[in-house]
Amino acid sequence: MSKTANKQRRSTTDEPEHVFGLDVEGDLAFLITEGKKHLQRFNVDLVSRAFRFCVEAHKKDVRVSGEPYYTHPANVALIVMREIPLDDVSVVAALLHDVVEDTTFSLKDLKAEFGTEVADIVDGATKISDVFESREITQAENYRKLLLSLVNDVRVILVKFADRLHNMRTIESLSRERQERMARETMEIYAPFAHRFGLGNIKWELEDLSFKVLHRDAYDDIKHQLNTSREEREEFIERFSKPVADKLTEHGVKFEINGRPKHLYSIYKKMATQGKSLDELYDLFAVRIILETEENNDCFLAYGIASEIYRPVPERFKNYISVPKKNGYQSLHTTVISSDGKRVEVQIRTRAMHEFAERGVAAHFRYKAASGGTASWVDSTDLEEWANWVRDVFENDDEEAAKDLLESFKLNLYQDEIYVFTPKGDLRILPKGATPIDFAFDIHSQVGAMCIGAKVNGRIVPLDHMLKTGDQVVILTSKNQTPHRDWERIAITHKAKTHIRRILNEERRARVVEGKDLWEKRARKLKLHINEDELEKLLLHMKYDSRSEFYAALGSGTLSPEAAGEMISQLLQPAATPVKEAPSNVTFDQFSDTARDTASGVYIVGQNMSSAKILFSYARCCNPVPGDDVVGIVTIGSGIKVHRSTCHNVIGLHDKLKPRLVELSWSQSQRGEFLAAVKITGEDRPGMLNDITSAVISIQKTNIRGVNIDAYDSIFEGILTVYVLDLAHLRRIFEKLLKIKGVETVERFEA
């Protein structure tokens, strides 16, 4: 049996016409007839109850066109039956897809009446609608991924395709502004997404309908030219197809040949890309050979026949049978030169391949049921080709996850991930629990390295703030910023942790190199001749575990070359003995002796210690800077911990610490930068964080180490950590901050 036909692509317009809204009972009868005709599984009672529920729920609603509102879900259900034929549950969900969003009925009501499966599909469809209502579409591929994050059942997306297709078919009733918005949204999101699902017919119609709205003049012009040449085109296709049909018949192959023009939007794109007029395009139409066979090799036989009759264009041959497209599409594509010199695209496929090309994932379900297999959507596992596409969509190489997907048909591989947006609307996928630091490094390693703060949905947040799906994140940076050790604890992504660790290690290596150079210069000046092994032993007495730790202390300025030289010189003297840790009940004098014996500092001079050098470190609770009144707490074997005299840790434990307190003053010759913490509060407003950081940096190019700010209602409170030279430097920062509009208080911070 063979047949040739000159026909346009099949759509619902080829099916029996029916106008919904004139007779409710007649509408229900029509739906039942169509459901039985197109679906393998069709529960008449379930669909009837859903239809009546839909009519009742929307009885007070009308469409913009003036029709009863229920006509829209009825048409969506009809599309689900005819063009994405899945199951009766999908039809019921289509009938009810707007109930929760537009009526007084709740999801709980639907679950009680129609079950969890239907309610979940309706819930997913409602979530997708909410996304489009609340956000401007800026990146289509990103929003397609976001859609997938919001649904658990693939049927949600398929119902949304049907919903959008009917809305586009009736778009003329909307205002021009709404038409353009919907058409852009359809072109950028729904049409490409339908392509990924393998829904060829729906994709093409959505594109053409959107094209008609967005470029009406071009649409009308191309359509007019195609209609003008229709008879000529049909005659050409008949003439071209006949010798191929005759040869196939000779080989006993059952087939169908039809010709169709390229879709209007694809012609428009080709004209724009090639810079040609319609008359100059040769491949305006394609001839499709559909074989009634289950043998894929028959397609290659048909290709051989066509290539014998017409000269093929070698570079235009595509074998999508051996290597299917990501969405599972299979077919042979070739372009041949006709007898009168025209280029003609020829597509060759089996009937099963054609059904999949037209209906995508639904075709697998349909064939499974038709062959006597289970009609249950959830239990269907005969979808290996479609799984290839799923792995591509989800960018997931986990084979076990793909198998689980086949078994359950649940698109939930991203259940432990969040979807957050840049200020421009670009989407970033991060693990659940990710922070602004993870987001910053995901944007770029340099952005992460210079991060000093973040705003989420317009509000200032601390760097350890946990992001959630839908957040829009703005990262604030400073070229003076570098990562801190704390960031490794805050970050959770491998990328962020790796970059932070690498930057910190690079900084440490640089300090080690600088420190080694400082030590070698000092050793030469003191004429100390020590090999590396001897130095390593001496450093153990100074509480350094390795030479690199010693060099890093020198490079960072926490240990001066002069103090290091003096200590090592003392240790080299014959009388020198290792420093022993003092017992817990030692006296003040014993603590002082320990401090003297381990002297290594250069910035602070103890009044009770004359000009002795002291091994010291600065307390992080109060962050003293030169100019502050300071006091020292002697520690066992580690020198002195320097605090501000007003530090609450010192005041609160003064009596207990009294035996270990040492009165200190700043050396006049000290140089370097000191870490200071500043608490700031005020009115939260757009641009506030930027104003704060700009003000700080403007003073002597102050280096900001970090910003950690929380906002509550319209008030913000935060901590800035900055590097300053002395108290006068810090006071100038205070003065500058207090001049910022909305800033109320600025004060030193104590942890």
Distance CA 202, CA 80 (A): 11
Check the CA dihedral 518-519-521-525 and report its sign.
positive
Mean pLDDT along residues 282-286:
68
- Tens digit of each residue's pLDDT (9 = 90 or more) over 71-95: 999 999 999 998 887 789 999 999 9
User: Comparing C-alpha atoms, which of 547, 399, 418, 422 is closest to residue 475?
Assistant: 422
- Tens digit of each residue's pLDDT (9 = 90 or more) over 386-427: 434 443 434 444 444 333 333 333 233 233 567 788 888 777
The answer to whether the CB of 462 falls within 8 A of the CB of 708 is yes
Mean pLDDT along residues 43-52:
95
Is the pTM for the entire model greater than 0.85?
no
**Greater pLDDT, 401 or 180:** 180
User: Comparing C-alpha atoms, which of 529, 5, 54 is closest to residue 242?
Assistant: 5
- Tens digit of each residue's pLDDT (9 = 90 or more) over 735-748: 999 999 889 899 99
**pLDDT reading at 667 higher than 60:** yes
CATH of domain 417-492: 3.10.20.30
**Greater pLDDT, 693 or 208:** 208
Domain boundaries, the chain: 4-214, 224-362, 417-492, 674-748
- Block residue for tokens 């432990």: 416
Of the listed ranges 107-116, 136-145, 483-492, 661-670, the least confidently predicted one is: 136-145
**pLDDT reading at 110 higher than 90:** yes
**pLDDT reading at 533 higher than 70:** yes
Torsion of CA 618, 621, 625, 628, to 10 degrees: -110
Is 379 an annotated catalytic residue?
A: no
Of the listed ranges 8-12, 502-506, 531-535, the least confidently predicted one is: 8-12
**Coil vs helix vs strand at 31:** helix
- Block residue for tokens 């509060």: 681
CATH 3.40.50.300 for domain 674-748, yes or no, is: no
**pLDDT reading at 310 higher than 80:** yes
**Greater pLDDT, 554 or 78:** 78
**In the prediction, which pLDDT does 668 show?**
65
Query: Given 14, 101, 589, 683, which residue is catalytic?
Result: 101
**pLDDT reading at 161 higher than 80:** yes
Per-residue pLDDT band at 15 (split at 50, 70, 90): low
Topology at the third CATH level for domain 4-214: Hypothetical protein af1432 (1.10.3210)
The answer to whether the CB of 439 falls within 8 A of the CB of 413 is no
Per-residue pLDDT band at 472 (split at 50, 70, 90): confident
**pLDDT reading at 370 higher than 70:** no
**In the prediction, which pLDDT does 25 show?**
94
* Superfamily the domain 224-362 falls into: Beta Polymerase, domain 2 (3.30.460.10)
**pLDDT reading at 38 higher than 90:** no
Reading the block at residue 269, the tokens are 């794109």
Reading the block at residue 248, the tokens are 């196939």
**Coil vs helix vs strand at 257:** strand
**Coil vs helix vs strand at 429:** strand
**Greater pLDDT, 285 or 172:** 172
**In the prediction, which pLDDT does 16 show?**
67
Mean pLDDT along residues 152-160:
78
477: which strand partners? 451
State the chain's mean pLDDT as an integer: 77
- Give 552's contacts (C-beta < 8 A, 6+ positions apart): 508, 511, 512, 515
Distance CA 242, CA 12 (A): 29
**In the prediction, which pLDDT does 299 show?**
93
**Greater pLDDT, 83 or 45:** 45
Check the CA dihedral 344-348-352-357 and report its sign.
negative
- Tens digit of each residue's pLDDT (9 = 90 or more) over 424-457: 877 787 888 899 999 999 898 889 988 888 888 8
Distance CA 357, CA 377 (A): 19
Query: Given 67, 102, 238, 464, which residue is catalytic?
Result: 102
Is 426 an annotated catalytic residue?
A: no
Reading the block at residue 295, the tokens are 């043998």
**Greater pLDDT, 221 or 278:** 221
User: Comparing C-alpha atoms, which of 602, 651, 627, 655 is closest to residue 734?
Assistant: 627
**Greater pLDDT, 514 or 393:** 514
DSSP output for 638-705: TEEEEEETT-HHHHHTHHHHGGGEEEEEE-TT--S-EEEEEEEEEE--TTHHHHHHHHHHTTTTPEEE
- Give 573's contacts (C-beta < 8 A, 6+ positions apart): none
**pLDDT reading at 7 higher than 60:** no
Measured from the Cβ of residue 314, the count of other Cβ atoms closer than 10 Å reads 8
**In the prediction, which pLDDT does 707 show?**
78
Distance CA 619, CA 644 (A): 8
Longest dimension (CA), the chain: 114
3-state secondary structure 140-167: HHHHHHHHHHCCCEHHHHHHHHHHHHHH
**In the prediction, which pLDDT does 74 show?**
96
